Chains A and B, each alone.
Chain A
Amino acid sequence: NAGVTQTPKFQVLKTGQSMTLQCAQDMNHNSMYWYRQDPGMGLRLIYYSASEGTTDKGEVPNGYNVSRLNKREFSLRLESAAPSQTSVYFCASSTGAGETQYFGPGTRLLVL
């Protein structure tokens, strides 16, 4: 039982490049989330998926897109990376909205 897994662990991009962050959970959770964490700020919600087949914008969705591929997987895509997207990205899942969330190990992204 791996919990929540994220790939890659670390990535360096040049401005304008695109990439997809992958997240998968094996706990049969309905809800999944993408957060970013920046120094001096709390975790901020980018997008979430309350259940399979639905996605909604969070607090900071600009520059990102998501896909809830199936119940297990929730990916985050940066179409044209910008230096302001340099951050640590966390995926999380929960049985339902607002319930205890289980976090992945994070992806450190550096955009040059």
Chain B
Amino acid sequence: KNEVEQSPQNLTAQEGEFITINCSYSVGISALHWLQQHPGGGIVSLFMLSSGKKKHGRLIATINIQEKHSSLHITASHPRDSAVYICAVKGGSRLTFGEGTQLTVNP
């Protein structure tokens, strides 16, 4: 079993839909990261959080440390949100990455 599990692996939505991507982890962590990988391959960090909730524009990330679970929500989705979303957990000095969720938003 991977230390970091994401679901779903693939997600297709219509423009405007509310989207949720989930991340579960099996180890103790001090922080969790959400990253976005663009179709061209570039990777950018979206959030780092260790408790509660963070919001940036249409993106919201939440974490429940007791349940070892985090969610990334996208409100009013748009085709430009199409990307791979990656969850990574910080245990010690390194990050362990999930396999990613491929999101496709159709117009």
Are B99 and A105 interface neighbours, CB within 8 A? no
The docked-state distance in angstroms from the alpha carbon of A58 to that of B97 is: 13
A11-19, A61-69, A70-78, A95-103: which lies at the B interface? A95-103
Contact A50 B99 (CB under 8 A): no
- In the bound complex, how far is the Cα of B43 from the Cα of A90, in angstroms? 9
Residues B53-107 near A (CB distance < 8 A): 86, 88, 90, 92-100
* Beta-carbon contacts under 8 Å, A40-57 to B: 40-45, 48, 50
* Secondary structure type dominating chain B contacts: strand
How many residues of B sit at the interface, in one of the four size bands? 20 to 34
Chain B residues with CB under 8 A of A98: 30-31, 90, 92-95
Task: Tell me whether B48 is interfacial, beta carbon within 8 Å.
Answer: yes
Majority SS at the chain A contact face: loop
A101 and B94 in contact, given A40-B99, A41-B99, A42-B4 (Cβ under 8 angstroms) = no
Expressed in whole angstroms, the minimum distance between the Cβ of B43 and any Cβ of chain A is: 4
User: Taking beta carbons and an 8 Å cutoff, which residues of B are in contact with A?
Assistant: 2, 4, 30-31, 33, 41-45, 48, 86, 88, 90, 92-100
